Amino acid sequence: MQNLKSFLCGSWQAGSDPQTDLHSATSGAVIAQTSSRGLDLGAALAYGRRVGGPAIRSLTFAQRADLLGKMSAVIVSHRDELLDISELNMGTTRGDGKFDVDGAAGTLAFYAKLGAGLGDRTWLADGDQIQFSRSKRFVGQHVLTPRRGIAIHINAFNFPAWNLCEKLACALLAGLPVLAKPGTATALVSLRLVQLWQAENILPDGVLQLLVGSAGDLLDHVGPQDCIVFTGSGSTGRQIKGHPQVLLYNVPVNVEADSLNASVLGPDVLPNSDVWTMFLSEVVREMTQKAGQKCTAIRRIIVPAERLDEVRAELVARLQDARIGDPGQQGTSVGPVAGPTQQRDVIAGLDALAQHAEIVWQAQGLPTQGCYAPPTLFVTTQGAAARYVHDHEVFGPAATLLPCSGQADEVIEIVARGGGSLAASVYSDDLPWAQAVVLGIAPYTGRVYWGSAKVFDQGCGHGAVMPALVHGGPGKAGGGEELGGERGLRWYWQRTAIQADTQLLRGLVG
């Protein structure tokens, strides 16, 4: 039995009893334990600010980028080991594990390239000089400098590699030290990554600390120059935003939370066309990849009512082909959910959803041992008026068909009922209809994936988050925004307007 330690204040530290169990999702057996009890988290934050802050800020963007490149290379060279750990802890199939691990390496590599392009600076000018009075002599200039605190990263259980790295890439490149806290249930991959980077001596002291276990009193110690970047459930996000110390210092909190992502089939799309196939493949992939435990997964499938029967029949046929079982066995396409808590939550969510929508199809004959949850397709004819479907995210292999008129206004109303989401997809070649829908749903979603005939074989998929594009969404999705190239760094910076003599400002900015 492994006893997992946290890496704080430059050393590996174990918390005291009672311990929290980590399970194998495939067998349900306890494989490790951890505790953060008794760890001095105030000291860890102070250590990061005092030791890690100056160390990372003293590096140029190009030097920080070099660190990210090395971190990415370590992931690539230990890929198989990381995939094994992911399977052991989370029950991921090889493909599901790669989505997380390769995504982590790719995001670090993307920011390494971006940082190299920012060159030998340690901060940035934001825009050009601004003349704000009749005088050309006394002007203004915005600058972006790294905050002097520590970035606290609190991550969800479902992407222990990618979630750690997408946040780290932006914070480290921006010039902030980090204390990262993975979801406890699946912390093994995050822990191993930090061990590997440490063994290679990549990061200066204090730049990265890892808390394995519950957050404890961590937030009691946040200060006015810190920031918190959180991924997880909406309820935890609200607790963090409302924490007295966070409120006292107006600590910025970025929240990526629950999301009832929608996928819309355009009325122009004919059965058996390329776009039709693309739509069906994406829905099935989103329901089954990582057993539906993706923040961007499609939860609501909006189709023209006259196509409902064909869509339903084709989705069921494809879902029936999914092989659910031990992720270590060749041919398995859907593994268990990440652990016993997640299994309990998903099954409770499926039961609740079944009170408000009809089950079209549900997988049968699942393994009795391990944390399995049955892929389930629902349907409701209630559209925007449907209850539960638009309000509660079942974070597993489930989605609901919503037939409607297909009119742009009705589609927009149904998408909007989700209260704000991370991603939506629209499938159509009818420009006026698609234009109305894409722009109509844009205020309710952080990213819109528009599938059409010319890109049917080129798209990266509804659920894939690209580091060059923003990830986040309004309302229920947390109101946050991460990644998006350089946009993802600005979160860690203070934007300051400097008013001064034109020549002196030019000298400052260089």
Q: Which residues bind ligand NAP (CB under 6 A)?
A: 154-158, 181, 183-185, 214-215, 231-233, 236, 239-240, 256-259, 295, 393, 395, 422, 477-478
Minimal distance, residue 165 CB to ligand NAP, in Å = 13
Closer residue to ligand NAP (CB): 33 or 452: 33
Choose, from 165, 166, 227, 256, the residue flagged as catalytic: 256
- Residue 463 is given by DSSP the state T
Strand bridging mode 178-181 / 151-154: parallel
Give 384-409 as a DSSP string.
GG-SSTTT----SSEEEEEEE---HH
Half-sphere exposure of residue 251: CA atoms within 13 angstroms, side-chain side: 28
Closer residue to ligand NAP (CB): 202 or 228: 228
Measure the CA–CA gap between 447 and 469, rounded to whole angstroms.
Answer: 8
Closer residue to ligand NAP (CB): 232 or 403: 232
Does residue 443 have a cis peptide bond before it, meaning omega lies within 30 degrees of 0?
no
| 9 in catalytic set | no
Measure the CA–CA gap between 436 and 412, rounded to whole angstroms.
Answer: 9
C-alpha distances in angstroms, 32 versus 96, 334, 336, 412?
22, 24, 18, 46
Contact 205, 49 (CB under 8 A): no
Measure the CA–CA gap between 93 and 91, rounded to whole angstroms.
Answer: 7
C-alpha distances in angstroms, 232 versus 54, 148, 229, 344?
30, 26, 10, 17
Minimal distance, residue 398 CB to ligand NAP, in Å = 13
Contact 302, 109 (CB under 8 A): no
Contact 80, 359 (CB under 8 A): no
Q: Pick from 427, 417, 464, 470: which is nearest to 446 by CA? A: 470
Closer residue to ligand NAP (CB): 70 or 221: 221
Minimal distance, residue 427 CB to ligand NAP, in Å = 23
Position with the least CB separation from ligand NAP? 232
Minimal distance, residue 413 CB to ligand NAP, in Å = 23
C-alpha distances in angstroms, 268 versus 325, 399, 453?
38, 23, 11
Choose, from 170, 227, 295, 404, the residue flagged as catalytic: 295
Letter for the amino acid at 413?
A: E
Minimal distance, residue 499 CB to ligand NAP, in Å = 38
Closer residue to ligand NAP (CB): 87 or 393: 393
- Residue 49 is given by DSSP the state I
For residue 463, the Cα-to-chain-centroid distance in whole angstroms is 10
Burial class (CB in 10 A: 0-12, 13-18, 19+), 212: buried
Closer residue to ligand NAP (CB): 308 or 346: 346
Minimal distance, residue 239 CB to ligand NAP, in Å = 5
Minimal distance, residue 260 CB to ligand NAP, in Å = 9
Closer residue to ligand NAP (CB): 172 or 477: 477
Closer residue to ligand NAP (CB): 187 or 441: 187
Minimal distance, residue 284 CB to ligand NAP, in Å = 20
Segment (H or E) for 303: strand 298-304
Measure the CA–CA gap between 301 and 307, rounded to whole angstroms.
Answer: 12
| 295 in catalytic set | yes
Minimal distance, residue 163 CB to ligand NAP, in Å = 7
Token pair recorded at residue 86? 């992911």
Closer residue to ligand NAP (CB): 181 or 312: 181
Contact 110, 214 (CB under 8 A): no
Minimal distance, residue 352 CB to ligand NAP, in Å = 14
Q: How would you list the strands of the sheet with 493-501, edge to edge?
A: 124-130, 138-146, 493-501
Phi/psi region, residue 83 (left: phi>0; alpha: psi -120 to 50; beta: rest), is alpha
Closer residue to ligand NAP (CB): 122 or 236: 236
Q: Which residues are catalytic, by number?
A: 256, 295
